[in-house]
Every structure is written in structure tokens, then in C-alpha cells.
Structure 1
Amino acid sequence: MVQNLAIGKIAILLASLTEDELKQIKLPLEKFSYCQGRVGSMNMQKVISAVETAAKRNALINEGYYRETHSLYHAIMEGINGVTRGQAAIGEMSRTVGLRFAVVRGKPYDHPEEGEWIAVAFYGTIGAPVKGSEHETVGLGINHI
């Protein structure tokens, strides 16, 4: 079992490892809630919506609380910034993405007063919308709730 992993590292592992690879290691997930998903698009809004929908469907955020949705949005945008290397645009720049993602929520610190945090990690490919023109990419966003 891998011990004492930070919330961001857990999110990156959940997004980047296949199911078979994840079975080979035991992540310390007992203090976290999480979900995983996939999205491929040339439309940035579809990427954002896929993550938001997964987080809501898996009860990681309460959409009735603005601050939870707001926190998730900022974590998504920070993660997208990593995926797109600081140019948060996909289709407008003739790029497409094929991504796996993970959303992780919990209290990653020893003191409960530090509150809850949310991490969004992306792993996949980005490139010209021509098969074989893509390369790997990764992004991580973390925000407090």
C-alpha cells in the first residue's frame, strides 16, 4: 500500500493509470471521495461540463452550494491550463483533446480545521485534429472548498 499521498498525487494517479494498473497498487482512498471519467472534444465547454457532471452525479459537490461549484470550476480551469500549456483554448486553436480525468475531494491535512479541498487531474492527449498528430499531456488543479 502506498501511504500518505497528497490529494493532487492521488488525482493524477487516478486519471493516468488504467484500471489494471490501479489494481496493482493500493491507494489510501479511505479519507477521500472521488470519481473518474473520460472526455474527448475540440470544445472547451464540453470538457468542463463532463467534469462538472461527473462530480455532481457522484455527489462530490452539492450544486446547491455556490462555493462548491465555484471551487470545482477553478480546479478544472487550473487543470485545463496545464493540459493546454497556459493557453486555455482547444478548438479555437485547431486542437483536440482525448482525456481521462479524476476529481478527488477530502481533508488532506492532519488538522480538520484546514477544511476540505478538491483536486481535478487530467491525463491524455492533445494535438491537431488529425489522427497521430497528438502527444501526451497532463494537468492538475487544486482548490479549497
Structure 2
Amino acid sequence: MTQVVRIGKIATLLAMLDDNEQSPFESLFSEVTFCRGKVGSMNMQKVISAVETAVKRQQLIDEDVYRETHALYHAILEALEGVTRGQLAIGEMMRTVGLRFAVVRGKPYKDKKEGEWIAVAFYGTIGAPVKGLEHEATGLGINHI
């Protein structure tokens, strides 16, 4: 019987852990493909673009297949809703973000007919664009491919 792969848990861990903290969790990462990155901005589109660019550069999705790009986009938006507390705006509300992100692709169900899914996780800070006035935030989005 195949083990359930928790792609959301893996994405969240990858987003939160520094490179030197990752080694105790390596066995969790063996059944998925993933990429990581960082982005800081007051512009929501720049955050979305940073994730899309990293995913495409790492060939985590096939950008010629619409459903893969579409799944990624919706997972990003869902994760950003967590970071922004349901108000998908940053610069317009005089907020800035400094985020690490991880995108994980895998098969989270025992029944392989359920197919592949994608998880996007953000971890970092959000707050007024004044150094030291930010607070931690995290968000997770998962979508089927």
C-alpha cells in the first residue's frame, strides 16, 4: 500500500526552514518534486511572478499545458490569502511582504488515479513599509493539476 504524501506539510516545512535546517527532514522530500525561492515586494504581481518564474525555471510544471499553469496560479492565490488575511492586497494597503516560498508537486492520495497536485507555501513577514514593524505570516494553497 502506498503511503499518503502530505504535500502541504512538505511545502510549509520547505518555506519555513533555512537550508541548514533542512537535513533532518530529507526523507519527507523523496516522493515529491519541489522548488524554493524568496521574494520581497509591495506589489502583488511581483510576488506571483516570482513564484511562477521559479517554478517554470525548475520545470516543475509544463508551461505549455494550461491546466498546470492554472493550478499553480490558484494555489498561489490561495496561499497569498493566508499571508494577507483574506485581503489580497499589499501595496494598495501600505503593506509590504518579505517571503520565502516553496512549491511542491506530488501525489497526495493512496489511489494514484487521483493524480498530481501542487502546493504553494509562503512564510515570512508582512507589515507597514517601515523596517521593524512587520510580523510573521504564513499561507498555504493546494490545487489539483
Range of TM-score over shorter length: over 0.9
Cα RMSD after superposing both structures: 1.2
**Bigger mean CA deviation after superposition, 106-115 or 33-42:** 106-115
Structure 2: distance between partners of 1:140 and 1:115: 20
TM-score (norm 2): 0.95
Corresponding residue of 1:103: 103
Equivalent position SS for 1:102: strand
Contact 2:5–2:109, Cα closer than 8 Å, also in 1:
no
Corresponding residue of 1:116: 116
**Bigger mean CA deviation after superposition, 16-25 or 108-117:** 16-25
Higher helix proportion (structure 1 or 2): 2
Structure 2: distance between partners of 1:13 and 1:77: 19
- Please list, as runs of the form range in 1=range in 2, the aligned pairs for 1:47-126 lying within 5 A after superposition: 47-126=47-126
Partner letter of residue 88 of structure 2?
Answer: A
Partner letter of residue 20 of structure 2?
Answer: D
**Bigger mean CA deviation after superposition, 122-131 or 3-12:** 3-12
Contact 1:10–1:27, Cα closer than 8 Å, also in 2:
no
The answer for unaligned runs of 5 or more in structure 2 is none
- Please list, as runs of the form range in 1=range in 2, the aligned pairs for 1:1-80 lying within 5 A after superposition: 6-80=6-80
Contact 1:4–1:28, Cα closer than 8 Å, also in 2:
no
Structure 1: distance between partners of 2:72 and 2:8: 14
Give the ranges of 4+ consecutive aligned residues of structure 1 lying more than 3 Å apart after TM superposition. none
* Cα offset, 1:5, TM superposition: 5.2
Structure 1: distance between partners of 2:88 and 2:122: 14
TM-score (norm 1): 0.95
* Cα offset, 1:29, TM superposition: 1.7
Equivalent position SS for 2:30: coil
> For 1:65-96, what per-residue CA distance to the aligned partner results, in whole angstroms no more than 9, with x for missing partners?
11100000000000000000000000000000
Aligned residues: 143
Structure 2: distance between partners of 1:114 and 1:53: 27
